[in-house]
Amino acid sequence: MSTVTATTPANDGSRTQPRGRFDFGIRDRWYGLPKPVRMLLLLLGALLLYLLPLLDPPYLSPSGSDFGAVLFNVAAYVLVALGLNVVLGYAGLLDLGYVGFYLIGAYTVGIFGSLHGHLPFLLLLPLAAVFTTISGLILGAPTLRVRGDYLAIVTLGFGEIVRLIAVNWRWGGGAAGITEVPRPPSIELFSLPHLDWNGFVATVNLDETTTFLKFGVLDQIPYYWMALTVIFVILVAEGLVVHSRVGRAWEATREDEDAAELMGVPTFRFKLLAFAIGAFIGGISGALFATRQAFINPESFPLLLSILFLSAVVVGGPGNRLGVIIGGIIVAYLPELFRPFADYRVLIFGCLLILLANFRPEGLLPPRRTLRAKKVEEALVELEEGPADE
């Protein structure tokens, strides 16, 4: 403790420094605010997110496409990314077949809402969640005994097998898919006008309105509201679970499975739990997707979708909810924004991933604990070198 090596922060920081570079002390300032102020700001932020498709701000809204539809898409990806984050980020299980759960959620709604029954959507949503959770348990129980690479291969197979079953299963619609997937019930209370932008001058357009809450064919905004609401609920619930024994057990298992087991963590049980929760969230997003689409077929659930879901988590920073949300936004929104370059977008995306892997291997926003630890490290360095060293 007494010997101080002459490392300047610039040299020393090559490994630890980049982690906080994009932070700019925002986190500190945020937690410096009194709690009521934070709550109010969060509420305002949420309200802004709800109003976003009505505001239709220039530059943010991609020209030539329906902003409401784009936002729903983004929200769906964010939701999926949050679910996959439980599996990959918290429990450290590489799941390459996440689209399988997405499909099961969507098909549950399709099959029991249109093809073989006419259950209302509000009943189908929990049903989809239950079915996917069960499928997660069925897949997890045998496969979670294998580790790492093997798990990735098994789940990859699962995603494909589920899709192929959907193709070949006539009772489930087969290759033709399912039409007339039920919509959520509408309660038409009032209409909200949109904004029209002419440069930076906004005018209220009373001709173009969105009815609260009408789940129709043309206007996608209510679906976005629904998805956003589900995201908020999931965020709160997930936060409560992660900050408990369950979250600690996941973290310990990811760090060192054998040591965790010997410290009294039933690792298999907790891995299975993560898998089931991930499947649960995946199923809900699949159900939302199905009801928005109104038509689903097996081609809606390609392997590529699994890879994109995975990228959203990896890009954002597995284990960090805010990072994963940003990852979901990037993966779903940027391609829409750069539609004109559509032919190159996968290429650009690939290049971005390579850059990211090199410069931010822990994702755009690494887990909070690395940041917290860095602060402690800095404080220690400061103590050892003396504060007025510069």
Distance from C-alpha of 174 to C-alpha of 187, rounded to nearest angstrom? 34
Residue selected from 53, 251, 300, 328 as contacting other proteins according to rule CB under 8 A: 251
> Taking the mean position of all CA atoms in its chain, how far away is CA 377?
31
Pick between residue 133 and residue 297 the one whose CB is nearest to other proteins. Answer: 133
* Residue 237 CB, nearest approach to other proteins (Å): 6
Q: How far is the CB of 224 from other proteins (least distance, A)?
A: 26
Pick the closer one to other proteins by CB: 249 or 324.
Answer: 249
5 is an interface residue for other proteins by CB under 8 A: no
Written as six digits, the tokens of 17 are 């420094």
DSSP string, 184-241: PPP---EEEEEEEEETTEEEEEEEEEEEET---SS--HHHHHHHHHHHHHHHHHHHHH
The two three-digit tokens of residue 93, written as one number: 């299980």
Q: Which residues of 322-345 are buried (b: 16+ CB within 10 A; e: fewer)?
A: ebbbbbbbbbbbebbbeeeeeeeb
- Residue 188 touching other proteins (CB under 8 A): no
28 touches other proteins by CB under 8 A:
no
| Interaction between residue 4 and other proteins (CB under 8 A) | no
Nearer to other proteins, 169 or 268 (CB): 268
Task: Please identify which residue in 48, 161, 240, 348 interacts with other proteins, judged by CB under 8 A.
Answer: 240
Residue 248 binds to other proteins (criterion: CB under 8 A) = yes
Q: Does 377 bind other proteins (CB under 8 A)?
A: yes
Q: Which stretch binds other proteins (CB under 8 A): 65-73, 164-172, 246-254, 344-352?
A: 246-254
Q: How many residues bind other proteins (CB under 8 A)?
A: 32
CA 98 to chain centre: 12
Q: Are 83 and 244 in contact (CB under 8 A)?
A: no
Q: Which residues pair with 194 in a beta bridge?
A: 205
Q: Is the CB of residue 179 less than 8 Å from the CB of residue 114? A: yes
Residue 373, interface with other proteins (CB under 8 A)? yes
Smaller CB separation from other proteins, 69 or 276: 276
Q: Residue 260 CB, nearest distance to other proteins (Å)?
A: 7
Among 6, 10, 218, 376, binds other proteins (CB under 8 A): 376
Nearer to other proteins, 258 or 390 (CB): 258
Nearer to other proteins, 75 or 252 (CB): 252
Its sign, for the CA torsion 221, 227, 233, 239, is negative
Contact pick of 64, 264, 386, 387 for other proteins (by CB under 8 A): 264
Residue 179 CA to residue 298 CA, distance in Å, equals 12
Which amino acid appears at position 329 of this protein? I
CB-based burial, 123-157: b 16+ in 10 Å, e otherwise: ebbebbbebbbebbeebbeebbeeeeeebbebbbe
Span 265-304, contacts to other proteins by CB under 8 A: 265-267, 273, 277
With binding defined as CB under 8 A, does residue 27 bind other proteins?
no
Binding status of residue 233 toward other proteins by CB under 8 A? no
Binding site for other proteins (CB under 8 A): 237, 240-241, 243-246, 248-249, 251-252, 255-256, 258-267, 273, 277, 367, 369-370, 372-373, 376-377
